[in-house]
Structure 1
Amino acid sequence: MIVKKVTVECEFGGRTLSLSSGELAKQASGAVMVQYGDTSVFVAAQTGPSRPGIDFFPLTVDYRERLAAAGKFAGGYLKREGRPTTREILTCRLTDRPIRPLFPKGFRDEVQIMSNVMSCDGENFPDILSINGASAALRISGMPFKGPIAAVRLGMINDELILMPTVSQMEESTLDLIVAGSEKSILMIEGFANQLPEKEMGDAIMHAHQFIKQLCKLQEDLAKELGIGKPEIPEAPENPFTDKLAGALSKVKAAKGITKKQERGEAMSALKAELLEQYFPGDAEETSDGLTKAQFKDAFYGLEAKAVRELILSGTRLDGRAPADLRSVKCEVGTLPRVHGSAVFTRGETQSLATITLGSTRDQQRSDGLFGEFSERFMLHYYFPSFSVGECRPIRGPGRREIGHGCLAERSVASVIPADDKFPYTIRVISDILESNGSSSMASVCSATLGLMDAGVPILQPVAGISIGIVDEGDKWTLLTDIMGDEDHFGDMDFKVAGTGRGVTGIQLDLKNEGISEEIIRATLDQALKARKELLREMLSCIRRPRASVSDSAPKLVQTSINPEKIGLLIGPGGKTIRAIQEESGATIDIAEDGTVTISAVNGAAADAALARIEALTEEIQPGRIYSGKVTSIKDFGAFIEIAPGKDGLCHISELSDGFVKNVNDVCNVGDILEVKVIAVDDQNRVKLSRKAVLAEQGGTDGDGEDDTDD
């Protein structure tokens, strides 16, 4: 047990990053407090005995952002945090992905990582600290972890890379790139950019790696100060069934060579059942020499992996394609009636149906968190039903995988969504995966693009996405474009790249091995670019450009800007004015603090009627302009005429006619409509009107007036 507090620190990105251990949570296997600026994340790593019969590595990562860390109360009736937010779930995944490959094969002990944000200064992101803290806690825990690993974030402002950008800097940044790795190689990438060219993306990734090395050294310094050496990495025990099943390799290769997923699965199930009957006749639990079914299943899985990898390295993919070939692609748009936009994208045996919904500003997703309240006007939600892979399972809420895939697709498309002043709609995309055999998240990117164009959303550029896999045996490796499920499952990499013809908008790397080199990263980006261009050609042959207008079933949105000082005038006392406009026109009106007014209606006529009322109410009265107004009251000295809603002016008795007027009622009565000209607006905003000026311009006379000369 650690009995002393140790702190190591370094200057990093212009601030101090420190790792502390030895004082808190001394019963945990490993615990570290990571601090950067005034943002602190406490990470504990705990191990426990494996569960009997388990055949996978039970690693669990939990990350929570307590609002108290920013001096805030949770909203709602219960003043405590509830289920994890989307941001928390994404950070759990970010922390898990670079750590999982670095545990030895066959390790089955329970491992739990818990990260809690303890303080947040509002400027430094805590998600990166969770990844570094998890690695540091594992490094000092004594577990067989092949780390350390580290992670950094890069931004880009004015084409200059920024290490560990602050929250305010990220508002200007055209890049949000998180890279994790060891001293030798890259292990995980998660990045989003504004159409960044492949070479520049590759340069940014390798630029991040030099800082990763610095943080890996800092973790080793912490372990050294605590007197903790390198853990022993046990070798996986030899499975006695491995040799017994070696003779079935050719049969496995033949079954794996079947091109259709379901037929391939049925052939493998039949072969597995045949071998089980051979070694466990009559459904026996053990063989005559004491071997178990669990050992058989583990060895059979290894045999599958060996067969798939050998086939690929020999140049034979499971469906007969060349390594850089795409599967067949089919695109359809306008597949659903009544919805605002829809598309089906099919690539091989992966199929995504996208549905587009357009709404007003009231439909935006509003959330609260450590960094304050924020609204989202573009959302992409991903659904992965069990029937898409021919399975049955209970229907629950979206899991971590669905949330992660949806956010990857959403942020890959977000950079081409038009600004709200160009297209004021709130946009929701639903991607329903109807069939899956590899990279459904990138299929969602493609279907979303097609659906948005079908809905009349003027996206800046079409976006497509593809996944590249690899089989890497050290001295020999093969990249695979558009990987299928088995190639992902038995391969070493799932490298997703989304973008336009101009550059990358989204990138995500997951590995099963201990890292990849710069050579592989750059080769993958190049191969993904070729595939993406081919996909874009197929997509644009279906729909060349966004439709000229939104669907007839979509709400009609109109925007205008008013002087913020006139917001109160538009709302009226107790909301009376705005309610009246909405009731009379049938439109819905939303007002932003900056004076932006958004009008939403079921048809264009209602929107135009509401807009006309708002413009008339809020426009500035312009001297020299002629208005048609209603007489609201009559005085001895003239008439008050309403020339705009809530705005009237005085037409003096001398300005009512081109002749002498003895009595105002000789010219007009309350309720009459008169054309008058604004002749002045004084410094107190009082309006002076003239009917005489209008008559003069029109070249007529007023018969109601009396001549002031004698007979």
Structure 2
Amino acid sequence: MFNEVKKSIQWGDETLTLETGKVARQADGTVIATLGETSVMANVTFAKAAKEGQDFFPLTVHYQEKYYAAGKIPGGFFKREARPSEKETLTARLIDRPMRPLFVPGFKHEVLVMCTVLSHDLVNDPDVVAMIAASAALTISGVPFMGPVGAARVGFVDGEYVLNPAVDDMNALRTKPDQRLDLVVAGTKKAVMMVESEAYELSEAEMLGAVKFGHDAMQPVIDAIISLAEDAAKEPFDFQAPDYADLYAAVKAAGETQMRAAFAIKDKQERTTAISAARDAIKAQLSEEQLADANLGSAFKKLESAILRGDIIAGGARIDGRDRATVRPIVSEVGILPRTHGSALFTRGETQGLVVTTLGTGEDEQIIDALHGNSRSNFLLHYNFPPYSVGEVGRVGSPGRREIGHGKLAWRALQAVLPAATDFPYTIRVVSEITESNGSSSMASVCGGSLSMMDAGVPLKAPVAGVAMGLILEDDGQFAVLTDILGDEDHLGDMDFKVAGTAEGITSLQMDIKVAGITPEIMEQALAQAKDGRMHILGEMNKALSAGRQEFSAHAPRIETMQIPTDKIREVIGSGGKVIREIVETSGAKVDINDDGVIKIASANGEAIQKAYDMIYSIVAEPEEGKVYKGKVVKIVDFGAFVNFFGKRDGLVHVSQIENRRLNHPSDVLKEGQEVWVKLLGFDDRGKVRLAMKMVDQATGEEVSEKADAEE
């Protein structure tokens, strides 16, 4: 009934298995990839005909984590998986990026790739497994795909690269000083296609070594996919790339001169208007048949690309007049919004980000519900890209994949320099509002985010800057690496290579390739050129602010932390939260307690913090033997008086310890409610407190013997 094909290899410390032919047989290609006990099913379907007039490649990639894969039931009211989580969205992008450039040029049939996590062993991250499964499913589906693609995750511990480190190692990256890298690399047999990473100030050589290590490590995976395809691949889909040479010649003849003049305009908006006018002029000279051709858009892009790329390869200036290595003019400003905790306006050429930092308490931490378990994050970065930033009218809705991806890239770049939570017990939220965009707004978010946090008083280990590199790679091997690319250079170029870091090293690297991969030599040059650009940008940023401010905004909360024994947590919270509610209401401060006994007390008012601190201390602290305390008489009995002297703790002053004379009854000198000074003598065999008054001056609270010694 089933025509199963299965291939297994030893990959690192685990066995990688690829299997097909048993599940989801009506899809064009289905592969279940298993690493350890993590399994992901990838299904590929594609339309056998393109939609009429289709002028782009409609590839859709979905990645979904099923909670049953880890033996969990989803939280929430409906108890089922709902909209994609941030991890699912980022992984879908991760799969899409290396696959998209490898479809045969001109293929515009709709393609759907769905990856579903079926089992998660909580050790091997499903994202790399999903990339491998998707590559294998595409390879056997018959779709015109120039793969396969392999993938690997790389760690860096004690100067050694590690293949596919465990999920826990990567999730605890910030708390493990020996683990300095989380890098995912994807590529073909000969070249790297995609890199995504967060790092802890790695050098350019260390980062390049990690990419090479990952590319070498994925080669057995690519061989396994090829072996699977030899036994299970469907017949290749009969597709002939459209020949639009005549159409391109007509477009070029009709408007190359006007289009070249448009690309010579330095201002983005004026250039965009001129390019649009050039297109209209060209269309006016074409026939109805040519205008109806679905390849007209491709012909226009080819002409624009030839103009931009040809000028750069020939050694001419770029669109805005710069050479290949120059960064656009930069203006950095901080403290521009009066009521926010920290703010910065970072402008680089025609790209601008208004970045705002807000400091919060433990209540503001984000709770993350994921397959590997629940966790909390005290650093949030949100990126917004409104239509007006590019002078357009568009729909405004919830964040899309691009906004989530760019925000996460900036988050990765900045998280490496954050202070430890024990040193800076705040929740930090950074919001980047892109107000203008002409290339690399994510790197503007990194620069603005660094400045904004320092303006808020966050003691960053070092400022962070980012720069986007581009590439023009010709068929004859000529190439040009471009620093700080414009939007058109990104759109018409072959690489988007973003590097962020401090003066000491790289904290994040993201690379996307639009051709069939790049060589290590090109990547090495791009990293070296990016370092020069990063150092220049850091110098410009330092003119505004080079370290965190010593004082917080008057509107930001102050947070004090205290550590209490875990067995005292229940006493501070009280039955049904009664005690902690009383502390909050009485002091006016926010109080947050975690399971380890760390208490965070937050308020903009220092007196409120101190009051809450004192109230908690009186509950959890233990009285010290030999110390004098001020107390209140709460009960008088024949043999002495009970005094409340330490929080809610009472002790007995025996009648013989009240005064240095014999008393008939304690009530001779004491009454309930009276304030007295007492010395803690100790505890009896049953743990009861023994107090004394007679050795303490009731007027001053000083011990009589100490007072006498001082007078002598």
State the TM-score bracket (shorter-chain normalisation): over 0.9
Structure 1 residue 278, shift from structure 2 partner = 2.3
Instruction: Give, as a single letter, the amino acid of the residue that structure 1 aligns with 2:212.
Output: M
Deviations 1:190-215 (A, max 9, x none): 00011111111111110111111111
Percent identity between matched residues is 44
Residues 669, 157 of structure 1: alpha-carbon distance in 2 compared, 3 angstrom cutoff: farther
The structure 2 residue matched to 1:252, chosen from 243, 259, 262, is: 259
Residues 682, 226 of structure 1: alpha-carbon distance in 2 compared, 3 angstrom cutoff: farther
Paired residues of 2:678 and 2:693 also in contact (CA < 8 A): yes
Residues 584, 291 of structure 1: alpha-carbon distance in 2 compared, 3 angstrom cutoff: closer
Structure 1 unmatched ranges of 5 or more = 281-285, 703-711
Instruction: Give, as a single letter, the amino acid of the residue that structure 1 aligns with 2:619.
Output: L
Tell which deviates more after alignment, 401-410 or 598-607. 598-607
Structure 1 residue 232, shift from structure 2 partner = 7.5
- Cα distance in 1, alignment partners of residues 637 and 153 from structure 2: 72
SS of 1:649's equivalent in the other structure is strand
Give the structure 2 partner of residue 217 of structure 1: 223
Q: Are positions 1:34 and 2:36 aligned together?
A: no
- Cα distance in 2, alignment partners of residues 5 and 457 from structure 1: 57
Residues 32, 684 of structure 1: alpha-carbon distance in 2 compared, 3 angstrom cutoff: farther
Paired residues of 2:250 and 2:286 also in contact (CA < 8 A): no
SS of 1:693's equivalent in the other structure is coil
Give the structure 2 partner of residue 14 of structure 1: 13
Residues 133, 90 of structure 1: alpha-carbon distance in 2 compared, 3 angstrom cutoff: same
Q: Are positions 1:91 and 2:88 aligned together?
A: no
Paired residues of 1:658 and 1:701 also in contact (CA < 8 A): no
Structure 1 residue 684, shift from structure 2 partner = 4.9
- After superposition, residues 546-625 of structure 1 pair within 5 angstroms as 546-625=548-627
Structure 2 unmatched ranges of 5 or more = none
Paired residues of 2:354 and 2:435 also in contact (CA < 8 A): yes
- After superposition, residues 655-670 of structure 1 pair within 5 angstroms as 655-670=657-672
Q: Are positions 1:484 and 2:482 aligned together?
A: no
- Cα distance in 2, alignment partners of residues 313 and 666 from structure 1: 104
Aligned CA RMSD, in angstroms, stands at 1.8
Q: Are positions 1:106 and 2:106 aligned together?
A: yes
Q: Are positions 1:197 and 2:198 aligned together?
A: no
Instruction: Give, as a single letter, the amino acid of the residue that structure 1 aligns with 2:461.
Output: L
Give the structure 1 partner of residue 50 of structure 2: 50
Residues 291, 339 of structure 1: alpha-carbon distance in 2 compared, 3 angstrom cutoff: closer
Structure 1 residue 551, shift from structure 2 partner = 1.0
Structure 1 residue 665, shift from structure 2 partner = 2.1
Give the structure 1 partner of residue 69 of structure 2: 69
Instruction: Give, as a single letter, the amino acid of the residue that structure 2 aligns with 1:638.
Output: G
Give the structure 2 partner of residue 706 of structure 1: none
Instruction: Give, as a single letter, the amino acid of the residue that structure 1 aligns with 2:404.
Output: I
Q: Are positions 1:469 and 2:470 aligned together?
A: yes
SS of 1:4's equivalent in the other structure is coil
Q: Are positions 1:276 and 2:283 aligned together?
A: yes
- After superposition, residues 412-423 of structure 1 pair within 5 angstroms as 412-423=413-424
Paired residues of 2:332 and 2:540 also in contact (CA < 8 A): yes
Paired residues of 2:143 and 2:236 also in contact (CA < 8 A): no
Structure 1 residue 698, shift from structure 2 partner = 3.6
SS of 1:662's equivalent in the other structure is coil
Paired residues of 1:456 and 1:550 also in contact (CA < 8 A): yes
- Cα distance in 2, alignment partners of residues 532 and 311 from structure 1: 26
Deviations 1:87-138 (A, max 9, x none): 0000000000000000111110111100000111111110001110111001
Paired residues of 2:463 and 2:546 also in contact (CA < 8 A): no
Q: Are positions 1:643 and 2:645 aligned together?
A: yes
Give the structure 1 partner of residue 372 of structure 2: 371
Structure 1 residue 646, shift from structure 2 partner = 1.6
- Cα distance in 2, alignment partners of residues 306 and 700 from structure 1: 94
Give the structure 2 partner of residue 407 of structure 1: 408
Residues 235, 3 of structure 1: alpha-carbon distance in 2 compared, 3 angstrom cutoff: farther
Residues 700, 146 of structure 1: alpha-carbon distance in 2 compared, 3 angstrom cutoff: closer
SS of 2:504's equivalent in the other structure is coil
Give the structure 1 partner of residue 439 of structure 2: 438
Tell which deviates more after alignment, 81-90 or 271-280. 271-280
Structure 1 residue 256, shift from structure 2 partner = 0.6
Give the structure 1 partner of residue 300 of structure 2: 300
Give the structure 2 partner of residue 184 of structure 1: 190
- Cα distance in 2, alignment partners of residues 193 and 551 from structure 1: 31
TM-score (norm: length of structure 1): 0.95
SS of 2:155's equivalent in the other structure is strand
Give the structure 2 partner of residue 4 of structure 1: 3
Deviations 1:18-49 (A, max 9, x none): 00011111111110000011111000111112
TM-score (norm: length of structure 2): 0.95
Residues 662, 454 of structure 1: alpha-carbon distance in 2 compared, 3 angstrom cutoff: same
- Cα distance in 1, alignment partners of residues 685 and 537 from structure 2: 64
Instruction: Give, as a single letter, the amino acid of the residue that structure 1 aligns with 2:107.
Output: F
- After superposition, residues 682-701 of structure 1 pair within 5 angstroms as 682=684, 684-695=686-697, 697-699=703-705
SS of 2:278's equivalent in the other structure is helix
Tell which deviates more after alignment, 153-162 or 205-214. 153-162
Paired residues of 1:144 and 1:234 also in contact (CA < 8 A): no
- Cα distance in 1, alignment partners of residues 339 and 632 from structure 2: 44
- After superposition, residues 259-338 of structure 1 pair within 5 angstroms as 259-279=266-286, 286=288, 292=292, 294-315=294-315, 316-338=317-339
Deviations 1:274-307 (A, max 9, x none): 2222225xxxxx05xx663644433122100110
SS of 1:420's equivalent in the other structure is coil
SS of 1:582's equivalent in the other structure is helix
Tell which deviates more after alignment, 505-514 or 653-662. 653-662
Deviations 1:545-592 (A, max 9, x none): 111122110112111011111112112233222222111111121111
Structure 1 residue 240, shift from structure 2 partner = 1.8
Give the structure 2 partner of residue 503 of structure 1: 505
Paired residues of 1:459 and 1:546 also in contact (CA < 8 A): yes
Tell which deviates more after alignment, 515-524 or 489-498. 515-524
Paired residues of 1:497 and 1:507 also in contact (CA < 8 A): yes
- Cα distance in 2, alignment partners of residues 684 and 437 from structure 1: 77
Give the structure 2 partner of residue 447 of structure 1: 448
- Cα distance in 1, alignment partners of residues 83 and 558 from structure 2: 36
- Cα distance in 1, alignment partners of residues 509 and 590 from structure 2: 39
Aligned residues: 694
Tell which deviates more after alignment, 158-167 or 340-349. 158-167
- Cα distance in 2, alignment partners of residues 583 and 423 from structure 1: 25
Residues 433, 683 of structure 1: alpha-carbon distance in 2 compared, 3 angstrom cutoff: farther
Tell which deviates more after alignment, 267-276 or 115-124. 267-276
- Cα distance in 2, alignment partners of residues 523 and 630 from structure 1: 77
Deviations 1:509-539 (A, max 9, x none): 0111110111111111111111111111111
- Cα distance in 1, alignment partners of residues 707 and 227 from structure 2: 98
Paired residues of 1:253 and 1:311 also in contact (CA < 8 A): no
Deviations 1:56-99 (A, max 9, x none): 11100001001011111111221211010000000000000000
Give the structure 1 partner of residue 135 of structure 2: 135
- Cα distance in 2, alignment partners of residues 91 and 683 from structure 1: 64
Paired residues of 1:30 and 1:46 also in contact (CA < 8 A): yes
Instruction: Give, as a single letter, the amino acid of the residue that structure 1 aligns with 2:217.
Output: F
The structure 2 residue matched to 1:237, chosen from 231, 234, 243, is: 243
Deviations 1:585-633 (A, max 9, x none): 1112111111111112231111111111111221122112221122222
Structure 1 residue 6, shift from structure 2 partner = 0.8
SS of 1:694's equivalent in the other structure is coil
SS of 1:368's equivalent in the other structure is strand
Structure 1 residue 692, shift from structure 2 partner = 2.5
Give the structure 1 partner of residue 159 of structure 2: 159
Residues 78, 683 of structure 1: alpha-carbon distance in 2 compared, 3 angstrom cutoff: farther
Instruction: Give, as a single letter, the amino acid of the residue that structure 1 aligns with 2:473.
Output: D
Instruction: Give, as a single letter, the amino acid of the residue that structure 2 aligns with 1:66.
Output: K
Paired residues of 1:37 and 1:121 also in contact (CA < 8 A): yes
Give the structure 2 partner of residue 60 of structure 1: 60
Paired residues of 2:425 and 2:559 also in contact (CA < 8 A): yes
Paired residues of 2:498 and 2:511 also in contact (CA < 8 A): yes
Give the structure 2 partner of residue 633 of structure 1: 635
SS of 2:696's equivalent in the other structure is helix
Tell which deviates more after alignment, 240-249 or 565-574. 240-249
Tell which deviates more after alignment, 668-677 or 95-104. 668-677
